[in-house]
């Protein structure tokens, strides 16, 4: 089955978790990715919430694989800010390898945030956001 960001928005939380669990970490990405927040997955609200967040808060991430860091593209004008370390590690969801986006040592604003991503299709990653160890939302990254 082919996946894309629109498909992610229609999937239930259980289906997103199952897809994340069955996907391999893939390579640490490099370059700019468009981001889509997945809030209230599988509901009629998911797409509208994603558009609102994209327009006003978060547009994606810019990875530097060689340096093992990323910057988030935020605010309506796409400011590159909020840095994270990027490395492979065990997922808090299932203990299997994932790509960790770790803000604990790089950001005062987001020091309690940890993202995890896995590659679902070439150029397409599914992510999970945690606040401390509490799951918040999912997101997609399209390169």
What is the domain-level CATH number for residue 134? 2.40.160
Sign, Cα dihedral of 56, 79, 60, 112: negative
**Domains in the chain, number:** 1
When pLDDT is averaged across residues 14-22 and rounded to a whole number, the result is 98
In Å, how far are 13, 31, 40, 107 from 36, measured between CA atoms?
15, 16, 13, 21
pLDDT of residue 77: 82
> What percent of the chain stands above pLDDT 90?
96
pTM of the model: 0.96
Q: Which domain holds residue 85?
A: 5-142
The mean pLDDT value for 49-69 works out to 97
pLDDT of residue 52: 96
* pLDDT score of 45: 97
Q: Is residue 110 over pLDDT 90? A: yes
**What is residue 16's predicted lDDT score, i.e. its pLDDT?**
98
């Amino acid at each position: 089955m082919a996946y894309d960001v629109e498909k992610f928005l229609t999937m239930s939380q259980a289906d997103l978790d199952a897809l994340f669990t069955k996907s391999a970490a893939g390579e640490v990405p490099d370059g700019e990715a468009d981001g889509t927040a997945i809030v209230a997955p599988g509901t009629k609200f998911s797409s509208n919430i994603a558009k609102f967040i994209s327009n006003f808060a978060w547009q994606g991430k810019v990875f530097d694989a060689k340096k093992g860091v990323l910057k988030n593209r935020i605010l309506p004008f796409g400011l590159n800010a909020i840095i994270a370390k990027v490395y492979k590690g065990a997922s808090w969801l299932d203990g299997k390898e994932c790509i960790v986006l770790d803000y604990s040592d790089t950001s005062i604003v987001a020091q309690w945030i940890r993202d995890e991503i896995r590659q679902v299709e070439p150029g397409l990653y599914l992510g999970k956001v945690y606040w401390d160890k509490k799951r918040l939302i999912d997101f997609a990254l399209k390169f």
